[in-house]
Amino acid sequence: MNEHVPSIRNSRGLGEPLYLDALAAYAEASNEGRNGTMPKLVASRYGRSSKESTPAMVLVIFVNLSQPEPKNHFTIGIDDDVTHTHLCFDRTFQIEPKNTISALFYGLGSNGTVGANKNSIKIIGEHAQYFSQAYFVYDSKKSGS
């Protein structure tokens, strides 16, 4: 391979906007003598391919940060088989109690399923020993289109 052409492994952007802002702020403070030492800053990407971030993924980030040389420019939530920047995490790690029940309801819209699902969540939450939480996603298409 030509040494002047970066490989796929080394060709990545400088970082996400928040990482770049933090890096610039610390560099400016250090340059102006307002900051003694530059802290170790790492960049990451999460939620790739519409993946949800889980507590297990957050835990592995803190494990990574506790290392003497933490991995920089890492991803979580996907197995990056091209650049191998992902952090492996324990998929069995859970923070919910064993008796937690999760449910996923689907609805097509215009057939009453959204309203029925809202009512179901309200009924579950009305019982004193249960807690309920719901998150609804809608699209902007007119029904039947």
Domain count, the chain: 2
Written as six digits, the tokens of 144 are: 């039947």
Question: Which residue range is the domain that position 131 belongs to?
Answer: 97-145
Mean pLDDT for the stretch of residues 49-72: 89
Mean of the per-residue pLDDT values of the chain: 80
pTM for the whole thing? 0.63
Task: Report the distance separating Cα 3 and Cα 133, nearest Å.
Answer: 54
- 16 and 26 share a domain? yes
Task: Report the distance separating Cα 12 and Cα 38, nearest Å.
Answer: 23
Torsion sign across C-alpha atoms 90, 63, 65, 67: negative
Task: Report the distance separating Cα 22 and Cα 131, nearest Å.
Answer: 39
Of 56, 71, 95, which marks where a domain is finished? 95
- pLDDT given at position 93: 92
- 86 and 110 share a domain? no
- pLDDT given at position 7: 45
Show the beta-strand stretches assigned E in the chain: 44-45, 74-75
Task: Report the distance separating Cα 134 and Cα 118, nearest Å.
Answer: 8
Lowest mean pLDDT: which of 31-40, 68-77, 92-101? 31-40
- pLDDT given at position 5: 45
- 38 and 103 share a domain? no
- 22 and 89 share a domain? yes
Higher pLDDT pick, 140 / 119: 119
Contacts of residue 88, Cβ cutoff 8 Å, sequence gap at least 6: 60
- 103 and 90 share a domain? no
Determine contact, residues 64/71, Cβ cutoff 8 Å.
Answer: yes
Q: What is the pLDDT of residues 8-58, one digit of tens each?
A: 444 457 788 888 999 999 888 888 888 777 788 899 887 766 678 889 999
Task: Report the distance separating Cα 60 and Cα 144, nearest Å.
Answer: 44
Token pair 């030492």 is found at: 37
User: What is the CATH number for 42?
Assistant: 3.40.50.920
- 113 and 61 share a domain? no
- 66 and 102 share a domain? no
Residue 142 pLDDT > 70? no
- pLDDT given at position 6: 45
Higher pLDDT pick, 143 / 134: 134
- 51 and 88 share a domain? yes
- 20 and 90 share a domain? yes
